[in-house]
Structure 1
Amino acid sequence: PTQIKCTLLDHHLNVVEGMASVSVSAQLNKAVRQQYMSLPQGGRCQVTYVWIDGTGQGLRNKTRTLDQEPKSIHDIPEWNFDGSSTYQAEGSNSDMYLIPVAMFRDPFILDPNKLVLCEVLKYNRLPAESNHRARCNKIMEQVKEHCIWFGMEQEYTLYGVDEHPFGWPKNGYPKPQGPYYCAVGADCAYGRDIVESHYKACLYAGVNIYGTNAEVMPSQWEFQVGPCEGIDMGDHLWMARFLLHRVCEDFGVILTLDPKPMTGNWNGAGCHTNVSTKVMRDEGGSSMFIEDATEKLGKRHNKHIELYDPNGGKDNLRRLTGRCETSSIHDFSTGVANRAASIRIPRHVGQQGKGYFEDRRPAANCDPYSVTMIMAETMLLDPEDHDKEYSYEDYMLGKEES
């Protein structure tokens, strides 16, 4: 009996230790919450406004009631928030505007409730410094006749609230990389419940999610969004990120987009970006237009690196080392089916002579608006128009600076 009690006690302690990395909120009684979620709303609608904060990486949200379900983005009113609490304004002049730009269904409190992605404007109704959507939308309007498509592969890592990779031994490391990519099994796949819940949430919300898989490092996963045309790429990826943060919150686990979450011989996290234009997708697209596009990208390698993480390339410097399936941040390269190249041409594209290419340089924490903007600008605008400066007024009015 004593031995049995000790065994049960050891098991209990192991369970408690295993739960220690999960947030306290995740351990609340969800059945009680569901009792309230099933209450009728009296015909009214909850709308959650989502925006990017002053760090350029964090997401914020708050909710209001509308008297009826909005049928389009135009039915959702502008709102405001305290920018001094989101690194976007000083307390003496803190009001910021939320401008709805994309509407999605709410998978957490269900229909008729909505999630709405917003641009942020300052007190003078000019874009906030972290609002890269305004510039991106300007470029996408200029190149819209090219029907540019993007697909972005968002890698991410799951952490416990103790900032230790989810599922890793408390004092040590898991087996070396090798058995984890696209893996199955409790000893190889950590956090699949989160991944599958996020996938369903995206489908319900209307996010254009393409797929998902376990990545090379344990507790690291990837989801893909696209193909999306123009500005929609950034809208859908940012909302997919918000949904993943919310799902992780429910499970009590932390999502990190750090490009190199673990030092050493562990893969980093990127946001590989696939791109094509109408002529690339047509017969003969590879021989002429894809090669032309990649040549242009090579000439502006340093400019792209500056915009491929929110810290001007400093985050990617830890990741793009030329090891762990990356190219060197200092060099530009292309290759068919080469995952150590800056630009990878998929093998089937090389064989068929048409399709898309993959830019493997963007970091996991990149702003998709900045990435897609600079790619479209480099590939499709005259070099004399590259880096052309626009005033904030021109951003909003859609006119070039005179």
Structure 2
Amino acid sequence: MQSELDSLRLRVKDLESENARLSSLLSNCKCSKECRNVDTGIGSAEEIQGLKLHTDDKMNQKVKGFSNKIRSMHQYSKRYVALKVMYFGQRFFGFASEGQMDPTIESEIFRALEKTRLIDGTKKDLQYSRCGRTDKGVSSVGQVISLFLRSKLNDADTGSGCPQEFQMKELYEGELDYVRILNKELPKDIRVMGWCPVPVDFSSRFSCLSREYKYFFWRENLNIKAMENAGKKFIGEHDFRNFCKMDAANVHSFKRCITEFKIFPCAERFDEDQLWVVKIKGTAFLWHQVRCIVAVLFLIGKGLESPDLIEILLDTEKIPKKPQYVMAPEIPLVLQSCNFEALKFVCSSGSRKALLDHLEMECKSYKIQSAIFHEAFLSCSLSENDEILLEDKPKKPPSHIPLMLRPTEPSYEERCVKLNSQLKVKKKNPLS
């Protein structure tokens, strides 16, 4: 009996020694770092005897097979890619996700990127950049972002990223269908429209040559000719500090160049009214610049201000302080396009069809909602069977105060003085 016990003890020691050796092999395996939750120990002597470990070679084969199943993101090839994105901004708190408000378009895009395992790392690691930072409620059909994405191709097959190579079919063939992958995970009011390989020194913000905005409005009784004549005065390089929301902490030059201004009708009508659009194209725009421009144009179109007001407000030496006025609403504003040199966005035929089908379905859905509201509008109209409505006392329309007689906002210089004094207070009291 004693000899059998001694034999069993020796057997257990041998198995424990083998277990330690195999654990050491597994800890040195690449997959072990990715699978820390895997139990590399082996339990009781009975469990050890049931494993049937035959040879070192067989164990190595098992480890190799395991590492093939779990593959870390850093093991994949990556490529720097620009994505063309559209979104309907009504329910979002703007594009950027840097604030505390949620949802934003950017946060939804990154949720989809993470869920599909197309990215690994921070925005800085990914060299992430965006072309435009649209505000709450603003939509886009041509926003562009750029970042490193997981690639199906080897690094040698993704090209050097020179602009001349962008049109080469080889740079796209065999790659992951980024449009299809992301659109499956994005909410219905955000869609990727195409992608394009770009060089690593590309920036969606600083490589952009021009941006184009459209602002939709109902004509009603607006004087389109007066608005058009006034709008043409924006063309060229001007100081637009009186046509923006000033951010003195981050922006120190308010000169911007407008290259194109147009006003034209759309096909959409409502009874006798027609939908029109203001189109503004420029190299770059200030915060709320388009909405401020449109707000002043509306005052001119209503006959409340003269078209000469544009020249007056653009003369910042005479008018260094912006008169107080309300910006145009955000919902009708659309970032139409961001234009770059030599970029051609691609999309597979299947993904393009799925995108068109989705947009068609959304259009039809909104048409139905519009029809329902129109029915409600018609049902409120008086007919012979309707009761007589009680008349309210007539209200006086609000009197218009000319812009040049209104209170003004602080000038850029005054804002800088205030910011500097706040910084001095913070330096003296860093905990306050």
TM-score by length of 2: 0.23
Q: Structure 1 length as normaliser, TM-score?
A: 0.24
